[in-house]
Amino acid sequence: MFEYRRFPRAPTEAPIQDLTGLRVGDLIVLRPYSQRDSAGRICWVCHCRCGVEVAYPANLLKREGVRSCGSIECRYHK
């Protein structure tokens, strides 16, 4: 019997999706980040192809077109 991983959450929050392994541009989602961002959103640690690890909130990864770590030194950042 497959058991879905459950995250504690407030009832008003949208359901939290497990994004582990998701590829977004030059990023691969590694794991949930231990802290939330300033808006209280769940963040995910992503590994950029350039070797940098960054944390982004899920909505940025899914809807707002993030493609790389965003560093100006990242050669994959446009």
| Site residues (vs Zn ion, CB under 5 A) | 48, 50, 52, 68-69, 74
Nearest to 46 by CA among 26, 62, 63, 65: 26
Q: How far is the CB of 50 from Zn ion (least distance, A)?
A: 3
Q: Which residue lies nearer to Zn ion by CB, 22 or 50? A: 50
Q: How far is the CB of 71 from Zn ion (least distance, A)?
A: 6
Q: Which residue lies nearer to Zn ion by CB, 36 or 75? A: 75
Q: Which residue lies nearer to Zn ion by CB, 19 or 48? A: 48
Angstrom CA distances, 15 to 11, 42, 44, 47, 55, stand at 9, 11, 15, 24, 19
> Using CB atoms within 10 A of its CB, is residue 76 exposed (0-12), middle (13-18) or buried (19+)?
middle
Q: How far is the CB of 73 from Zn ion (least distance, A)?
A: 8
